[in-house]
Structure 1
Amino acid sequence: MQMDSDQLKDAALCALKFIEIYTGKDAKTKRYKALRALADMTLNDLERGKSDTECKYTAQDIFLSVTSSKSFEDSDKRNVNRFLKDLHDALPTHEAMLKQIAIDNNFVAIPTYNFSASVGSGSGVYTEHFITPLERNLYDTDIPAEDLKEGEIKYYLESVNNLPLLFRWINNFEISAWRQKLLAFAIIIGILVIVCLFLFFMLVFLHTKNGGLEIIRALFGTLGVSSFIAFPLRHLYLCLTNRIISAPILLLPNTVDNAQIEYVATEKLSPITGRPIRKFRVVIYSSTCPICQSRIEVENGGKEFHNRLIGRCTEVPLEHVYSFDRFLCKGRFLRHL
């Protein structure tokens, strides 16, 4: 029982640390204020000697706890269950970030939110809500916990939800043996189509007499179709070679400004080569600016930092600029004050 209580304590502490660090667009929403209330009440009851199985709370408890901190208004009383439902859907998407927080702080568990079935009527007053600890794999140290040096920042990994249906397939798309061949075939076909288009344009150019309009139409048609094919091929090539690129804006939901497409190794091994099978995934790397405490988002470096990704502060984007190392999940200040 003691170990379960210790796990629950670490899970609640991890939840509070997450709320302190997380700076996404929805960070101030009431789902996370409800999570803070759950974590605070859990820690207080554990300190009073309650067991882990007794740390369960009604929506009314949560409402009163958050109201005392002036985060909820009286009009929110009937909406607590909706805030908690949002939390139930959103918290699993932060698992990577929660695991990294647990690693950095030596927590043995991360938080998950659960609830029991309602045993009465009303607006969730009789439904019990609680944090369930999910034990962290002690060997899950893909990103080691290290103390930050002066001028360094720590990046955290976030998931991207609600990708447009047209692009949803790319997230967690594994490049296994037959898919690798299919991908190579698609690239070859794309290149051949572009070559054929330009050959077609040359034929139109050479055999058209006094037909300037036809040549212009053929040129614009060739450039348009070629660009439509070359654009995704270029992004695919850069992702395969650089292992990470900025995700095109069309790939992202309206709630996300910057995200990345990674080409990462999985735990599966190819039966042919023995090497890890890789996959694409759409993620967000973010941090908190140590100067102004605003969110840092990873984006293309532009002309000044050509051919690299950088971390740029959302509040002072021209001056608070940081490097980005996806392997170490660290960065350093790139401006001299």
Structure 2
Amino acid sequence: MNNNHKLTGSSTNGFDQNTVAIAECLKDYLSVHGRTAQHFQILRFLADETLQRLSEGKQPWFNYLAIREAVTGETEGDASAWFGRHWKTLTGDFRQKCEEGIQKFASDQGLTIYPWIEKRESNGGAGNQALICLVALAIPGSSPQAAKKLPEHDIDYIPAEKLKLSWWARWLFNKDQVAEGWRKWMLVWPNLIGLGIVSLLGVFLLWAMSQSTSPLTASDTTILIYIGLFAWYARHLADRFCRLVDDRIILASDHMVGFKEFGVCLELFKPEGSNADTPKRARMIKYAGTCPICSAQVLLDKGEPDFPRRIVGRCQESPREHVFSFDRATRCGYRLR
């Protein structure tokens, strides 16, 4: 994404209430959408320590040594190489995957700015390190007057950070978890071809058995059972395809995602700004929110048995009682239970 113009504060040190707002926003975002990787710990440190420094009337700027010590506990040696690796991640893959989600999270909190990090290079010699701080960036197209009016709702969802797909799904989806062209059709045609082959094979075997005058043997019965199982599975795959076309989004199969991934969806979408003739693309995406009741993470799950053929948000601490609707267009929902 392109960088936005930074908002400048009016205080002596260039920090004002905007900085407090974005630090609190980042802290809230990480409490639900953060993980234990070190680049998340860096952001957590910046959010907490920025609020602490501001409360003490100090400048919320941090050098590499302070950040590394807070994250790893190490106090000796050059921290530049260590931070350089994480800076590359934060300004590369992390920004590409999470910046839109952070913008929406901030917007849902009523802000027109969102938190990001900035490196301020030192003018000194080799012993002086650059300083890292939080900055407020303007949310594209956002203003207090032009804020998008959504129906009253209880929960907001944002795309979660980069997913871990299974080995074969990584072959079909690019680094943005998007499949287009022939890769998208590889998600569809094998299922339909499999259903057709099983159906034809079943019809042929049933016809062959009907021509036989001998009674059914145990072997014949076993073959019929296997045909029934394959037909059921092929029908299941075809139903998933039909549901994806009808609803535009379904929960991804377990074999498409990593072992510890939950709440991942397979979604059909069109890129922003595309015209009506642009073909839809398929992507793997994970939406998450914050439970307004207990502040736990809310992930998407099947609505059955109480809400058939619906994808709902279930609180990870109370998945049966704290249940919310999910609207993929507005990315918000209301309480169902």
In the alignment, the residues of structure 1 paired with residue 23 and residue 253 of structure 2 have an alpha-carbon distance, to the nearest angstrom, of 32
| Aligned residue runs from structure 1 range 1-337, under 5 A | 4=6, 6=8, 13-14=21-22, 16-23=24-31, 26-27=34-35, 30-39=38-47, 57-63=62-68, 66=70, 74=73, 81=82, 85=86, 88=90, 89-104=93-108, 105-108=110-113, 111=116, 126=129, 129=132, 136-138=139-141, 144=148, 146=150, 152-168=154-170, 169-170=172-173, 171-174=177-180, 189-208=193-212, 209-267=214-272, 269=274, 274-335=276-337
- How many residue pairs get aligned? The number is 309
Q: Secondary structure at the match of 1:155?
A: strand
Assess if the C-alpha contact under 8 Å between 1:296 and 1:311 holds in 2: yes
- Consecutive unaligned residues of structure 2, counting only runs of 5 or more, are none
- Consecutive unaligned residues of structure 1, counting only runs of 5 or more, are 67-71
Q: Secondary structure at the match of 1:111?
A: strand
Assess if the C-alpha contact under 8 Å between 2:42 and 2:67 holds in 1: yes
CA distances 1:157-177 after superposition (whole Å, capped 9, x unpaired): 2244231120122431235xx
In the alignment, the residues of structure 1 paired with residue 257 and residue 277 of structure 2 have an alpha-carbon distance, to the nearest angstrom, of 31
Whichever residue aligns with residue 258 of structure 1, its letter is G
Tell me which protein shows more helix as a share of its residues.
Answer: 1
Deviation at 1:302, TM superposition (A): 1.2
Deviation at 1:202, TM superposition (A): 0.5
Judging changes above 3 Å, is the alpha-carbon distance between structure 1 residues 13 and 268 closer, same or farther for their aligned structure 2 residues? same
Deviation at 1:144, TM superposition (A): 3.5
Judging changes above 3 Å, is the alpha-carbon distance between structure 1 residues 222 and 133 closer, same or farther for their aligned structure 2 residues? farther
Whichever residue aligns with residue 163 of structure 2, its letter is N
Deviation at 1:198, TM superposition (A): 1.6
In the alignment, the residues of structure 2 paired with residue 279 and residue 292 of structure 1 have an alpha-carbon distance, to the nearest angstrom, of 36
Q: Secondary structure at the match of 1:21?
A: helix
Assess if the C-alpha contact under 8 Å between 2:303 and 2:309 holds in 1: yes
Please tell me the root mean square deviation across aligned C-alpha atoms, in Å: 4.2
- TM-score, normalising length: structure 2: 0.72
Judging changes above 3 Å, is the alpha-carbon distance between structure 1 residues 93 and 12 closer, same or farther for their aligned structure 2 residues? farther
In the alignment, the residues of structure 1 paired with residue 72 and residue 291 of structure 2 have an alpha-carbon distance, to the nearest angstrom, of 31
Assess if the C-alpha contact under 8 Å between 2:298 and 2:313 holds in 1: yes
Q: Secondary structure at the match of 1:27?
A: coil
In the alignment, the residues of structure 1 paired with residue 78 and residue 333 of structure 2 have an alpha-carbon distance, to the nearest angstrom, of 40
Assess if the C-alpha contact under 8 Å between 1:313 and 1:321 holds in 2: yes
In the alignment, the residues of structure 2 paired with residue 79 and residue 205 of structure 1 have an alpha-carbon distance, to the nearest angstrom, of 78
Whichever residue aligns with residue 255 of structure 2, its letter is L
Assess if the C-alpha contact under 8 Å between 2:188 and 2:241 holds in 1: no
Assess if the C-alpha contact under 8 Å between 1:12 and 1:111 holds in 2: no
Deviation at 1:135, TM superposition (A): 5.8
In the alignment, the residues of structure 1 paired with residue 298 and residue 194 of structure 2 have an alpha-carbon distance, to the nearest angstrom, of 36
In the alignment, the residues of structure 2 paired with residue 158 and residue 113 of structure 1 have an alpha-carbon distance, to the nearest angstrom, of 22
In the alignment, the residues of structure 2 paired with residue 180 and residue 33 of structure 1 have an alpha-carbon distance, to the nearest angstrom, of 36
Percentage of identical aligned residues: 19
Whichever residue aligns with residue 99 of structure 1, its letter is Q
In the alignment, the residues of structure 1 paired with residue 114 and residue 130 of structure 2 have an alpha-carbon distance, to the nearest angstrom, of 25
Assess if the C-alpha contact under 8 Å between 1:309 and 1:324 holds in 2: yes
In the alignment, the residues of structure 2 paired with residue 181 and residue 249 of structure 1 have an alpha-carbon distance, to the nearest angstrom, of 20
Deviation at 1:220, TM superposition (A): 3.3
Deviation at 1:266, TM superposition (A): 2.0
- TM-score, normalising length: structure 1: 0.72
